[in-house]
Chain A
Amino acid sequence: MELLINLTVNGLATGMLIFLLASGLTLIFGLMSVLNFAHGGLFAWGAYSGVWFYTLSGSFVIGIIGAIITGIILGFITEKLIITPVYGNHVQQILITLGFMLVLTELLKVVWGPNQMAAKVPSYLAGSWEFGDVLIIKYRLFIIIVGFLVFGVFQYMLQKTKIGLIVRAGVMDKDMVQALGINIKRVFLYVFMAGSALAALSGVLMAPYSGVIYAEMGFEFAILAFIVVVIGGMGSFPGSLFAAILVGLAGSYMAYYVPALSLAVNMMLMAIVLIFRPQGLFTAKG
C-alpha cells in the first residue's frame, strides 16, 4: 500500500510537469494549428534560467519568477521571429521550429557551458512528511499542488473571461472568430507567451525534482508532451491534464512493475488512442 501511494504521488508529480508543458502546446496547436517543436527548448531554458536566478538570489521563488519571465520573453521572440512567417504551412513550421529547438539548446551551452548543472530542492521543501507508514516527499506534493493551481487559474480564464471565450471559440473555428472582426493574431501571441511561460515553469520545477539539468532535457520531455496532446485531444485544456496524469501514472507504475515496458507504455497508450479515438479523448472540435 505504501509503495502504491508513493508510486502514485511520483506519477502525479511527473504528470503535472508534463501537463504544464503540454497545456501550452495543446492551446497553441488548437488555436492556430501551429506545430511548435521548439516548445521543449523553452522548457530547458526555463530550467536553466530558473536555476541561475535561484543560485544567484538564493530564493527558489525568485528562481521560479525568473524562469516564467524568461519564458514570456522567449515566447514573444519565438512567436514574432519564428512562427509568424510560417503561419498555415505545417512543413515549414516543423522544419523551422525543429531548427530553432537546436539553436535554443546550443545557446544554453553557450550561456551556461556544456556541463550538467545541479539543482537542489530548497530547504523548506526538502524532506518528507510521514502519514503512518506512508512517506510523502514534500517537493513532489508541491509540484502536484502547483499543477492543480495552474490548471484552476487557466480553466477560470478560459471559462470566465472575455479573452478565454475568444480562445475557446478560436479553437473551434478561428476563421469565424476573425470574421467577427477579432484580432486573433494578437490573442494567439498572448496564448503563445502564456504557453511558453508554462513550459518554462515546468522546466524550473523539474530541475530540483531530477537534481540535474542538461541542455538536451527539452527533447525528452517534449516527446511526452506531444504524446499527451495527442491522447488528450488537440486544443483541449482539460484533456491535456487528464492525459498528462495518465502518462505520468503509467510511467511510474510500469517503471516499478514492468521496467522493460516503462518507455514503451506511453507509445502504446498513444497508439491505442489513435486507433480507437483518433481525435483524442477530449475533443474541442464539435
Chain B
Amino acid sequence: MEPIIRTENLTIRFGGHTAVSHVNFEMPPRHLKSIIGPNGAGKTTFFNLLSGELRPTEGDVFFKGESMASLSAVARTRKGLGRSFQITNVFPNLTVLENVRLAVQSKEKIRYQMVRHFLHYKQLIEEAEKLIALVLLDGKEHAIASQLSHGEKRKLEIAMLLALDTEVLLLDEPTAGMSLEEVPAILDVIRKIKQTGEKTILLIEHKMDMILDLSDSIMVLFNGKLLADGSPQEIMDNETVQNAYLGGLYDENLAES
C-alpha cells in the first residue's frame, strides 16, 4: 500500500543542536503508530515538522506522495495532514458545543453568510454533536470549557482535532497531566476513533501499557534519530531499544506517577 505519510532525511537543527536527525519513516493509511522515546528525544519537534509548525533544515515530508515543503501548517491541515496541540488548547469561556462548532466551521471560508443565525446550520451542529459523542463528552455540550476536568478538556481537544476532518491525526501525549482514573476514558476515545477505520493516527505517549494495547506499530526516537520501527512485539524484543532506553522509560514513568 502506498504510504499516506513519509519523511525523507528529515532533519532540523537549532543552533548547534540537532533535534531531529535524518529520520526516514513511512506509514500506511488507517494505521496507528506510536512514537516513543525519552524526554528530549525530539518527538514533539518531529510532530511539528510533520504539521508544518516548524520548517526542516534538511529533508522533506510527503503526504500521499506530495511534497509538503512549500505548504504552511494551515494549508497542510486543509490537505488532510493534522495538527497537534500539546498544551490544553480549548477556548476557556466558550461552551463545549461552541468549541467544537468553531472547529467544524473553520473548514469554511469567511463569507457574508457568516452573519446568519447559527441555527440555520443544522448540519454544523449535528456534526459537532456527533463528535462530542465520539469523545464521550455527551451531556456536557453546554458546559463552559474552563469548568471541565483536565481529562475532559483533552477529550474536547481531540474532538476539535477530529472536527478539522484530517485523515492524519497527530496526538501529542493525550494523557499528559491526567489522573490515573481518567486515562482509560482517553484510551476508549482513541480506540473508538481507530474503530471508525477512517483515520491514520500518530501518537506520542509515555504510558507503555496503553501503547502496547493500541498500536499497530511503534517507532523509537533517541537523540533525534530513528532507533527502531516495527510491530510492538519487535520493539519489545529489540535489544538496542531495551538497552538504550526502555529501562529508563519505566524508571521515568515510576518517577512521574
Contact = CB atoms under 8 A, between A and B. Distances in A.
Interface stretch (B24-32, B83-91, B178-186): B83-91
A161 B89 contact: no
Interface in B109-140: 109-110, 113-119, 121
A190 B101 CA distance: 21
B118 A181 contact: no
Interface stretch (A106-114, A164-172, A200-208): A164-172
Nearest to B110: A186
B12 interface: no
A163 interface: yes
B164 interface: yes
A111 to B, nearest CB: 31
A157 B92 contact: no
Contacts of A178: 74
Interface of A: prevailing SS: helix
Q: Among A162, A168, A186, A286, which residue has the most Cβ atoms of chain B within 10 A?
A: A162
A176 B115 contact: no
A89 interface: no
A172 B118 contact: no
Nearest to B93: A286
Nearest to B163: A180
Given A179-B73, A286-B93, A165 B98 contact: yes
Given A181-B107, A186-B110, A166 B115 contact: no
B85 A179 contact: yes
Q: Among B94, B114, B160, which residue has the most Cβ atoms of chain A within 10 A?
A: B114
Contact of A180 (B106, B109, B116, B117): B106
Contacts of A183: 109-110
B146 A286 contact: yes
Contacts of B101: 165
B148 interface: no
Given A161-B116, A165-B101, A180 B110 contact: no
Interface residues of A, number: 24
Given A160-B118, A165-B118, A182 B110 contact: yes
A172 B110 CA distance: 19
Contact of A162 (B74, B85, B94, B114): B114
Given A187-B110, A286-B146, A161 B93 contact: no
A70 to B, nearest CB: 21
B9 interface: no
Nearest to B101: A165
B223 interface: no
A235 to B, nearest CB: 11
A76 to B, nearest CB: 15
A284 interface: yes
Given A178-B74, A180-B160, A181-B74, A286 B92 contact: yes
A173 interface: yes
A181 B102 contact: no
Q: Among B93, B113, B116, which residue has the most Cβ atoms of chain A within 10 A?
A: B93
A168 B99 CA distance: 11
Nearest to A178: B74
A161 B94 contact: no
Contacts of B114: 161-163, 166
Given A181-B77, A182-B110, A169 B164 contact: no
Given A181-B78, A286-B146, A176 B89 contact: yes
Interface in B55-81: 73-74, 77-78
A167 to B, nearest CB: 10
Contacts of B160: 180
B98 A163 contact: no
A101 to B, nearest CB: 29
A203 B223 CA distance: 63
Contacts of A169: 91, 94, 98, 102
B92 A172 contact: yes
A172 B164 contact: no
B92 A181 contact: no
B103 interface: yes
A172 B93 contact: yes
A168 B93 contact: yes
B18 interface: no
Interface of A: 157, 160-163, 165-166, 168-169, 172-173, 176-183, 186-187, 190, 284, 286
12 contacts: A162-B118, A165-B98, A168-B91, A172-B92, A172-B94, A177-B102, A178-B74, A180-B102, A181-B107, A181-B164, A182-B106, A286-B93
